[in-house]
Structure 1
Amino acid sequence: MQRLIYLIAYPILLIISILPFRILYILSDFVFFFVYYVFGYRKKVVRENLALALPHLSAKERLVIEKKSYSHLCDMFLEMIKTMGISNKEIDKRFVFKNLEVYKSLEKEGKSIALMCSHYASYEWVISMNSKIEYEGYALYKPIQNKYFDNLVRKIRSKFKAHLLPIDKSILLIDNNFHKNIKSLYGFASDQSPIVRLNTYWTKFMDIEVPVYVGAEMLSKKFDMNVIFLKVKKLKRGFYEAEFEIISTNVKEVPNFGITDMYLRKVEDQIMEAPEYYFWTHNRWKHKDRNPKFLKPKK
Structure 2
Amino acid sequence: MQLLAYIIIYPFLWLISILPFRLLYGLSDILYFFIFRVFKYRKKVVKSNLRLVFPDKSRDEIETICSQFYRHLCDMILEAIKSMTISEASMLKRYTFTNLELIHDLEAKKKSIMLMCGHYGSWEWIFILQPQINHKGYAVYKRLANKYFDRLVKRIRAKYDSHLITTKETFTILSESQKKGELTINGFASDQSPKATKALHWNEFMGIKVPMHTGAETIAKRFDMAVVFFSVKRLKRGYYQTTFQTITENPNDFEDYEITDKFFKLVEAQIFEAPQYYLWTHKRWKHRDKVPEQFK
Q: What SS is found at the alignment partner of 2:203? A: strand
Q: What SS is found at the alignment partner of 2:186? A: strand
- How far residue 178 of structure 1 moved from its aligned partner, in angstroms, is 1.8
- How far residue 197 of structure 1 moved from its aligned partner, in angstroms, is 2.2
Identify the residue that residue 143 of structure 2 maps to in structure 1: 143
- How far residue 274 of structure 1 moved from its aligned partner, in angstroms, is 0.5
1:103 and 2:103 correspond: yes
| Equivalent AA in structure 2 for residue 72 of structure 1 | H
Aligned counterparts, 1:45-56, within 5 A: 45-56=45-56
TM-score, L = length of structure 1: 0.97
Instruction: State whether residues 199 and 213 of structure 2, in contact with CA within 8 Å, keep that contact through their aligned partners in structure 1.
Output: no
Q: What SS is found at the alignment partner of 1:246? A: strand
User: Residues of 2 paired with 1:107 and 1:62: CA distance?
Assistant: 43
User: Residues of 2 paired with 1:88 and 1:284: CA distance?
Assistant: 34
Identify the residue that residue 261 of structure 1 maps to in structure 2: 261
- How far residue 199 of structure 1 moved from its aligned partner, in angstroms, is 5.2
User: Residues of 2 paired with 1:147 and 1:68: CA distance?
Assistant: 33
Identify the residue that residue 280 of structure 1 maps to in structure 2: 280
The runs of at least 4 consecutive aligned structure 1 residues that moved more than 2 Å come to 197-200
Q: What SS is found at the alignment partner of 1:242? A: strand
What are the Cα deviations for residues 185-211 of structure 1, in whole angstroms up to 9, with x where unaligned? 000000000112255210100010000
Aligned counterparts, 1:135-174, within 5 A: 135-174=135-174
User: Residues of 1 paired with 2:120 and 2:86: CA distance?
Assistant: 21
User: Residues of 2 paired with 1:135 and 1:51: CA distance?
Assistant: 41
Q: What SS is found at the alignment partner of 1:164? A: strand
Aligned counterparts, 1:119-138, within 5 A: 119-138=119-138
67 and 255 in structure 1: CA distance in 2 versus 1, 3 angstrom threshold: same
Instruction: State whether residues 199 and 211 of structure 2, in contact with CA within 8 Å, keep that contact through their aligned partners in structure 1.
Output: no
TM-score, L = length of structure 2: 0.98
Instruction: State whether residues 199 and 212 of structure 2, in contact with CA within 8 Å, keep that contact through their aligned partners in structure 1.
Output: no
User: Residues of 2 paired with 1:176 and 1:289: CA distance?
Assistant: 41
Q: What SS is found at the alignment partner of 1:244? A: strand
- How far residue 250 of structure 1 moved from its aligned partner, in angstroms, is 1.3
User: Residues of 1 paired with 2:211 and 2:199: CA distance?
Assistant: 10
Instruction: State whether residues 118 and 189 of structure 1, in contact with CA within 8 Å, keep that contact through their aligned partners in structure 2.
Output: yes
The gaps in structure 2 that reach 5 residues or longer are none
Instruction: State whether residues 229 and 244 of structure 2, in contact with CA within 8 Å, keep that contact through their aligned partners in structure 1.
Output: yes
User: Residues of 2 paired with 1:189 and 1:236: CA distance?
Assistant: 23
- How far residue 247 of structure 1 moved from its aligned partner, in angstroms, is 0.3
Give percent identity, aligned residues only.
48
- How far residue 179 of structure 1 moved from its aligned partner, in angstroms, is 2.4
Q: What SS is found at the alignment partner of 2:197? A: coil
Q: What SS is found at the alignment partner of 1:187? A: strand
The number of aligned residues is 296
- How far residue 99 of structure 1 moved from its aligned partner, in angstroms, is 0.7
User: Residues of 1 paired with 2:160 and 2:223: CA distance?
Assistant: 26
| Equivalent AA in structure 2 for residue 31 of structure 1 | L
| Equivalent AA in structure 2 for residue 237 of structure 1 | R
1:65 and 2:98 correspond: no
User: Residues of 2 paired with 1:277 and 1:124: CA distance?
Assistant: 13
Identify the residue that residue 82 of structure 2 maps to in structure 1: 82
- How far residue 255 of structure 1 moved from its aligned partner, in angstroms, is 1.3
Identify the residue that residue 189 of structure 1 maps to in structure 2: 189
Instruction: State whether residues 198 and 292 of structure 1, in contact with CA within 8 Å, keep that contact through their aligned partners in structure 2.
Output: no
